[in-house]
Amino acid sequence: MDNDDGQIGQVLSRRRALKMLGLGLGGTAAGAGLYGGWFFQRQNSAGTIGAKGLPGCVVRPAQIEGPYFVTNELERRDIRANTSGGSVQPGVPLTLEFVVSRVALNTCEPRAGIQVDVWQCNALGVYSGVADNADQFDTRGQDFLRGYQLTDANGRASFRTIYPGWYSGRAAHLHFSLRVITDGKVTGEFTTQLYFPDPITDIVHARAPYNTKGKRDRLNSTDILYRNGGSQLLLDLKGYPDDGYTATFDVGLNL
């Protein structure tokens, strides 16, 4: 069994977060609960995340950065285009908003000025800016599906991207990193990955251009990284493939 009371990456432990939020280990706030050792939010009758009286920040597990992060990414909201030539990556649109908070006594405080980096593969499982001999692509000099935003006064940062494709050995996912920048230096960092519901991935990947890649070889349940807390990194998607999907992801930090 996982030790869910230990500190994961640089997020607060469950025990410490609940104590600071004024909730006992066995207690819950209205509309909230404990599941699998992590604090979570239930959906209300309107289908939106959140409940009256429930803080917006939650504890999330960290996961590895992976091999495809590159430095000097662009500050931009729409990360679909390649700046060299301006070509836009095809795929089902996805609007992803992050809400970053600091866990404080009995509440959550919005964290402004946090750098949120996002990077992901395109509809065919290819990342920009790297050479990969195994998957036989070399996209060095390109920067599609990469970028960062700084959180605003409400701790929010939004990205316009596409639903990711897949590559061998991994379920559909994207990467993000939260960085505290002080005097031009990174003084705190939290990195993890986000996952997508398998039924929706099946629908999206049956469409062009995803379907030219063929059927993926991993579900969430068979992805080795998803097994390490991935259920708490699963996006709650709203929308349809024709119009695109939206999702909001809350995360509480103590950086």
Amino acid letter at 60? R
The CA distances from residue 203 to 161, 199, 207, 223, 240, in Å, are 18, 7, 7, 19, 10
pLDDT given for residue 54 in this prediction: 37
Q: Domains in the chain, please, with CATH?
A: 61-253 (2.60.130.10)
Assigned token pair, 196: 């997508």
Sites in the chain below the pLDDT cut of 70 = 1-56, 59, 106, 255
Query: pTM (2 decimals)?
Result: 0.79
Q: Tell me the per-residue pLDDT of 52-91, one tens digit each, with 9 for 90 and over.
A: 333 457 767 889 888 888 887 799 999 999 998 889 999 9
Q: How far apart are CA 161 and CA 168, in angstroms?
A: 22
Closest by Cα among 62, 53, 56, 64 to 39: 56
Q: How far apart are CA 98 and CA 176, in angstroms?
A: 10
The CA distances from residue 226 to 83, 181, 196, 242, in Å, are 32, 29, 10, 27
How many Cβ atoms sit within 10 Å of the Cβ of residue 246? 16
